[in-house]
């Protein structure tokens, strides 16, 4: 699988994402500086995490309006696989590639911890390797991960199997107590209508080897490898 | 001849700059005329306590700073230590105490920014951060606000910059009511053949300013850090700088990119006393003069005077000497990262520090004398008072209630509320996050097994009772924490926080603490390679507890052998390395359970420390253990409770349950667990190495039990341990 990672100033999990893609796919991903508008032909485009432009206006707002994002949009509109993680998820919602918005965490604090996720859709291009063990521990690290969408939008997501991941406890219960940031319906990650764009707050790229205490983050990338094979 | 075009130099003005009569006389002698206003500002910036170390230098010189692995000791932006395979670690710790009290978010944030800049100025990519925080009593009216602001500021800067925070300390004591301590540590990874230094080389080369624009923020900040606080404290708010982690992240990437092109000859970050200090150091260290044209300095405010430009402490700025042949390459890098850069001067061969503004010389000073001739004081010291003797301990103490107090009060409770606000995982190399004995980070670019361990420690109440032993203990505890995870301690950095050095008893406290630190660093082969001194931590005459924080770095050949403190398996055998507990003087038990601060600090037997630490590391390397934890505050009982809570497993302990055994804070001790099959081998090694070791009991069940005297449910202990911090902080919202 060929991939490209888009780089904006202020992103800081770009190196984590580049390393994960290389370790799992065996191919060195393209690192595309936002100013170099041309996207190479790849199977997957990733917008990684961090604080693009310091998140000074609103998380992801400035990067979403850059020429580089227009290229990402073209790629996604043509059916190309597109993944946004953390700030990348915020950027994709700001750019209109995904519905809803990421608000400040319920407790108004940055939160970095290991929570549990449940893969609710285990057939998508991003999640087809989670069918056997859909509940797994995964790290989060964000200040603005409180996903919100209007009631119609939520229904649309629920009815069309577009909720990729929800926050849950170790037993898979998607209770309020297991919701770290107040996001609606415990949503941690969503798919677009066509199923080729995934945005998620947790960090699968920090869960790919023994040193991370788990490898369940790999399954996203392995799902993608399978999907493009 | 330089003339004062703007402001007359009066006695009051000189005093306002913190320059005394003797020092002013020295200035007149050095330059042979009255200084200009700008020059007076330059002298005050270079000669204040914060930059010149004038009260502390004489004692700092006694510290061991060399070792087989030390590449650069104190004097550079950060110390650099060899970690093999052509790699090195650069690290330092620095205080931002005064600004953090005035404006906690920005004070703490810029403290983190400053220390990160020190590290990447050397050419290192920051890979780990820690912080040592001290606040006033929890019930003090300002404490919650300060805790909340400082923690958010550290997170706000470090998380955005993208460095994992892997360790730290948080302590509460009424003695910090008027002066909190915010000490920030950072470490970075670099190649031994690509270390960048501040000494300029070559005459007539361009001096380039890079980074954020210069504003009026922080003008006089270093001078503020060199005085006590009075009631006018809130008036000092404008001297606190404002941080911009986004610019700093761009600056990091731009600097590393630029360094890789070979264009950088010398580089220095603008920290305390900004442009003045960085330009003077570049010239003086390189035996060159420096000429700055201040009209070319990028400014963010209008009508800034030369004085303000020279003293501004605006953040995220760098000064570089560039290879003129590579100017275009450099320019492309700056433009890519959209950073301001400007050629603001050049190196000269006349050893003068000259500043030109509107075509006029506003400063012309001998560059070497600004640093070399800075005042140095051997301040008077007085005999240090002995602490009050340890009185009788009542016989009717309930050990179970005492243990619950110790693990569930302000100083013993879990710091999870704090470190969950820090990104502990970014970069994907954190193999042990806060909550354990040391933070551990995997090292990229080697064999994938190498890792570095980090810990920061000091026990201020010991230092107050007995500065010499307290100094030793700070080093020993840090060294022990690194050993407890299995890392070989390599070197350390010190952040020496004290009161007013003009008081003879404080000066004695300072001197004795440093001598103690020196004793321990020598005995444990743990040289001090960088550091920072923060004096005048007093408000209305009340000084802080002496707090010489020690930050240490250790090396692990294989992180997969790393130990953690949690109990792992039912049936594992628990052992104590070191002697049975005896010492209750200055203990957490005495302070927190009886409300008494008495007795001497525990004595630190450095031979015993060295022996026991080597023994533990050997066991870990031989993969004989399942858990390891150092004994510190609260002694054996607290250590076992922490191991139990972390592993969600109980234990049955068969030792006497006198208070000394349970809560004594004797040093050089570790608690370990091992599979019963390995016990004979462990005991044989102990006997060979002449190490005191005793079997305490077995892991298992859901209670921590010391015979009949003490039996606590692990779940109850966890609730007590985890609740204090969030409960305390949410009480803020309820107020």
| pLDDT number for residue B1 | 47
**Cα(B667)–Cα(B610) distance, rounded to whole angstroms?**
11
B431-440 average pLDDT score: 97
Evaluate if residue B248 carries a pLDDT over 60. yes
Q: Is B50 a catalytic residue?
A: yes
| pLDDT number for residue B395 | 86
- Residue B79 resides in a domain: no
User: Catalytic pick from A75, A116, A142, A203?
Assistant: A203
Interchain CB distance below 8 Å, B160 and A211: no
Number of domains, chain B: 1
**Cα(B570)–Cα(B700) distance, rounded to whole angstroms?**
4
Evaluate if residue B234 carries a pLDDT over 80. no
Q: Which of A54, A112, A212 has the CB atom closest to B423's CB atom?
A: A112
Q: How far is CA B47 from CA B39, B271, B279, B317, B691, in A?
A: 12, 15, 15, 22, 50
Q: Is B46 helix (H, G, I), strand (E, B) or coil?
A: helix
Contacts for B711 with CB less than 8 Å, ≥ 6 apart: B400, B703, B704, B705
User: Catalytic pick from A30, A86, A94, A142?
Assistant: A86
Is B519 labelled a binding residue? no
Q: Is A86 a catalytic residue?
A: yes
B258-284 average pLDDT score: 91
Is B92 labelled a binding residue? yes
* Between B233 and B256, residue with greater pLDDT: B256
pLDDT digits (tens, 9 = 90+) for B631-660: 999 999 999 999 999 999 999 999 999 999
Q: Is A3 helix (H, G, I), strand (E, B) or coil?
A: strand
pLDDT digits (tens, 9 = 90+) for B447-504: 889 999 999 999 999 999 999 999 999 999 999 999 999 999 999 999 999 999 999 9
Q: Indicate the pLDDT class of residue B6, thresholds 50, 70 and 90.
A: low
Evaluate if residue B4 carries a pLDDT over 60. no
* Between B674 and B53, residue with greater pLDDT: B674
Nearest CA in chain A to B733: A107
- Residue B323 resides in a domain: no
Chain B residues lying within 8 Å of A36, measured CB to CB:
none
User: Catalytic pick from A168, A205, A212, A222?
Assistant: A205
Interchain CB distance below 8 Å, B423 and A109: no
| pLDDT number for residue B222 | 59
pLDDT digits (tens, 9 = 90+) for B55-74: 999 999 999 999 999 999 99
Residue B317 pairs in a beta bridge with B211
Starting at the edge strand found earlier in the chain, the sheet holding B573-577 runs B627-630, B670-674, B573-577, B693-699, B651-653, B703-706, B710-713
Measure the N-to-C terminal CA separation of chain A; round to a whole number of Å. Answer: 8
- Residue B32 resides in a domain: no
Compute the nearest-CA separation of B416 from chain A (Å): 10
CATH code at position B673: 3.90.650.10
Chain B residues lying within 8 Å of A54, measured CB to CB:
160, 244-247
Nearest CA in chain B to A15: B427
- Residue B710 resides in a domain: yes
| pLDDT number for residue B373 | 85
| pLDDT number for residue B170 | 98
Number of domains, chain A: 1
Contacts for A87 with CB less than 8 Å, ≥ 6 apart: A11, A13, A47, A48, A49, A50, A51, A52, A55, A59, A60, A63
Using only C-alpha atoms, what is the Rg of chain A?
16
Is B55 labelled a binding residue? no
**Cα(B468)–Cα(B520) distance, rounded to whole angstroms?**
10
pLDDT digits (tens, 9 = 90+) for B495-549: 999 999 999 999 999 999 999 999 999 999 999 999 999 999 999 889 999 999 9
**Cα(B643)–Cα(B296) distance, rounded to whole angstroms?**
59
Neighbours of A137 (CB within 10 A): 14
Residue ranges of chain B whose CB lies within 8 Å of a chain A CB: 152, 155-156, 159-162, 244-247, 249-250, 253, 336-338, 420-429, 431, 442, 559-560
For tokens 């297991």, the residue is A178
Compute the nearest-CA separation of B558 from chain A (Å): 11
User: In terms of Cα–Cα distance, which of B670, B578, B672 is closest to B622?
Assistant: B672
The model's pTM: 0.95
Query: In the 8-state DSSP scheme, what is residue B339?
Result: -
Compute the nearest-CA separation of A211 from chain B (Å): 6
Chain A residues lying within 8 Å of B247, measured CB to CB:
54
Percent helix, strand and coil across chain A, each to the nearest 5: 30, 25, 45
B312-323 exposure pattern, b = at least 16 Cβ within 10 A, e = fewer: bbbbbbbbbbbb
- Residue B594 resides in a domain: yes
Cβ pairs A/B, distance under 8 A: 79
Q: Indicate the pLDDT class of residue B218, thresholds 50, 70 and 90.
A: confident
Interchain CB distance below 8 Å, A211 and B246: no
User: Is the four-CA dihedral B488, B491, B96, B174 of positive or negative sign?
Assistant: positive
- Residue B249 resides in a domain: no
| Residue numbers of A between 69 and 108 with CB closer than 8 Å to B | none
CATH code at position A49: 3.40.50.880
Contact B681, B415 (CB under 8 A): no
Measure the N-to-C terminal CA separation of chain B; round to a whole number of Å. Answer: 62
Domain encompassing residue A200: 3-228
| pLDDT number for residue A177 | 96
Predicted-assembly ipTM surpassing the 0.90 threshold? yes
Domain encompassing residue B578: 563-735
User: Testing the interface with A: which of B127, B160, B243 to mutate, by most A Cβ within 10 A?
Assistant: B160
User: Testing the interface with B: which of A8, A12, A114 to mutate, by most B Cβ within 10 A?
Assistant: A12
**Cα(A5)–Cα(A49) distance, rounded to whole angstroms?**
11
Evaluate if residue B372 carries a pLDDT over 70. yes
For tokens 């010190």, the residue is B494
Chain B residues lying within 8 Å of A53, measured CB to CB:
246
User: Is the four-CA dihedral B619, A208, B424, B313 of positive or negative sign?
Assistant: positive
Q: Which of A13, A54, A210 has the CB atom closest to B426's CB atom?
A: A13
Is B118 labelled a binding residue? yes
Compute the nearest-CA separation of A132 from chain B (Å): 26
Q: Cα-Cα-Cα-Cα dihedral of B704, B706, B712, B713, to 10°?
A: 30
Nearest CA in chain A to B441: A211
User: Testing the interface with B: which of A11, A52, A112, A201 to mutate, by most B Cβ within 10 A?
Assistant: A112
Q: Which two tokens stand for residue A8?
A: 């904006």
- Residue B715 resides in a domain: yes
């Amino acid at each position: 699988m060929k991939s490209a990672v888009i780089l904006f100033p202020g992103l800081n999990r770009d190196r984590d994402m580049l390393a994960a893609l290389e370790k799992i796919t065996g191919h060195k991903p393209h690192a595309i500086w936002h100013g170099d508008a041309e996207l190479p032909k790849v199977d997957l485009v990733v917008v990684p995490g961090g604080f693009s432009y310091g998140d000074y206006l609103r998380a992801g707002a400035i990067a979403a309006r850059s020429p580089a994002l227009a290229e990402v949009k073209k790629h996604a509109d043509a059916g190309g696989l597109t993944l946004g993680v953390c700030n990348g998820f915020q950027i994709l919602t700001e750019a209109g590639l995904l519905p809803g918005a990421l608000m400040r965490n319920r407790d108004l604090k940055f939160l970095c911890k290991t929570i549990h996720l449940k893969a609710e859709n285990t057939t998508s291009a991003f999640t087809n390797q989670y069918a056997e063990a859909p509940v797994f521990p995964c790290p989060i690290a964000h200040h603005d991960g409180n996903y919100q969408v209007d009631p119609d939008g939520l229904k649309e997501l629920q009815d069309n199997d577009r909720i990729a991941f929800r926050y849950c406890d170790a037993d898979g219960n998607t209770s309020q107590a297991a919701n770290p940031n107040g996001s609606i319906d415990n949503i941690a990650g969503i798919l677009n209508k066509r199923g080729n764009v995934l945005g998620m707050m947790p960090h699968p790229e920090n869960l790919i080897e023994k040193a991370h205490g788990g490898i369940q983050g790999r399954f996203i990338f392995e799902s993608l490898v399978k999907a493009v094979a | 001849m330089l003339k004062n075009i703007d402001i007359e130099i009066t006695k009051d003005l000189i005093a306002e700059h913190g320059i005394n009569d003797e020092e002013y006389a020295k200035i007149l002698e050095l330059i042979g005329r009255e200084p200009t206003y700008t020059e007076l500002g330059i002298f005050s910036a270079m000669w204040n306590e914060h930059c010149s170390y004038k009260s502390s230098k004489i004692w700092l010189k006694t510290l061991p700073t060399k070792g087989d692995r030390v590449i650069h000791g104190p004097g550079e932006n950060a110390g650099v230590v060899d970690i093999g395979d052509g790699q090195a670690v650069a690290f330092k710790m620095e205080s931002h105490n005064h600004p953090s009290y005035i404006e906690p978010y920005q004070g703490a944030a810029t403290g983190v920014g400053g220390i990160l800049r020190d590290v990447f100025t050397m050419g290192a990519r920051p890979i780990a951060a820690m912080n040592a925080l001290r606040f006033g009593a929890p019930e003090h009216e300002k404490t919650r606000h300060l805790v909340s602001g400082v923690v958010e500021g550290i997170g706000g800067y470090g998380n955005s910059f993208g460095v994992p925070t892997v360790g730290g300390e948080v302590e509460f004591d009424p003695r910090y009511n008027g002066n909190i301590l915010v000490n920030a540590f950072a470490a970075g990874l670099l190649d031994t053949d690509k270390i960048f230094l501040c000494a300029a080389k070559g005459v007539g080369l361009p001096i380039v300013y890079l980074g954020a624009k210069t504003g009026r923020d922080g003008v006089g900040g270093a001078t503020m850090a060199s005085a006590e606080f009075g009631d006018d404290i809130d008036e000092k708010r404008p001297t606190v700088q404002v941080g911009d982690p986004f610019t700093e992240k761009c600056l990091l990437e731009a600097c590393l990119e630029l360094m890789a092109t070979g264009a950088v000859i010398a580089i220095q970050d603008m920290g305390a006393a900004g442009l003045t200090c960085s330009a003077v150091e570049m010239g003086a260290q390189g035996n060159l003069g420096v000429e700055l044209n201040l009209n070319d300095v990028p400014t963010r405010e209008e009508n800034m005077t030369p004085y303000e430009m020279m003293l501004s402490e605006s953040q995220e700025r760098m000064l570089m000497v560039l290879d003129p042949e590579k100017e275009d390459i450099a320019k492309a890098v700056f433009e890519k990262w959209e950073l301001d850069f400007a050629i603001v001067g050049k190196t000269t061969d006349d050893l003068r520090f000259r500043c030109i503004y509107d075509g006029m010389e506003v400063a012309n000073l001998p560059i070497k004398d600004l640093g070399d001739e800075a005042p140095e004081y051997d301040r008077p010291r007085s005999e240090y008072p002995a602490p009050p003797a340890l009185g009788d301990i009542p016989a009717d103490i309930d050990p179970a209630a005492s243990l619950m107090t110790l693990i569930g009060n302000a100083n013993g409770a879990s710091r999870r509320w704090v470190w969950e606000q820090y990104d502990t995982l970014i970069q994907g190399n954190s193999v042990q996050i806060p909550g354990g004995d040391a933070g551990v980070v995997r090292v990229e670019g080697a064999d994938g097994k190498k890792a570095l361990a980090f810990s920061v420690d000091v026990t201020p109440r010991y230092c107050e009772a007995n500065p010499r032993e307290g100094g030793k203990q700070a080093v020993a505890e840090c060294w022990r924490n690194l050993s407890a995870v299995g890392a070989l301690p390599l070197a350390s950095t010190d952040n020496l926080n004290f009161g007013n050095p003009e008081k003879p008893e404080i000066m004695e406290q300072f001197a004795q603490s440093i001598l103690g630190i020196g004793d321990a660093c020598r005995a444990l082969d743990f040289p001090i390679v960088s550091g920072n001194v923060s004096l005048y931590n007093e408000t209305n005459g009340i000084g802080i507890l002496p707090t010489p924080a020690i930050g240490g770095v250790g090396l692990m050949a294989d992180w997969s052998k790393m130990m953690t403190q949690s109990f792992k398996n039912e049936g594992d055998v628990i052992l104590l390395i070191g002697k049975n507990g005896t010492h209750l003087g200055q203990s957490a038990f005495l302070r927190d359970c009886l409300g008494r601060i008495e007795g001497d600090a525990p004595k630190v037997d450095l031979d015993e420390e060295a022996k026991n630490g080597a023994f533990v590391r050997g066991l870990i390397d031989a993969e004989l253990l399942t858990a390891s934890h150092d004994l510190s505050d609260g002694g054996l009982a607290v250590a076992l409770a922490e191991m139990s809570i972390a592993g969600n497993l109980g234990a049955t302990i068969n030792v006497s349950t006198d208070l000394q055994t349970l809560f004594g804070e004797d040093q050089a001790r570790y608690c370990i667990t091992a599979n019963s099959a390995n016990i004979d081998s462990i005991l044989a090694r102990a006997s060979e190495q002449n190490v005191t070791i005793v079997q305490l009991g077995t892991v298992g069940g859901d209670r921590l039990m010391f015979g009949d005297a003490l039996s606590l449910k692990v779940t109850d202990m966890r609730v007590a341990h985890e609740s204090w911090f969030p409960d305390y902080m949410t009480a803020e919202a309820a107020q």
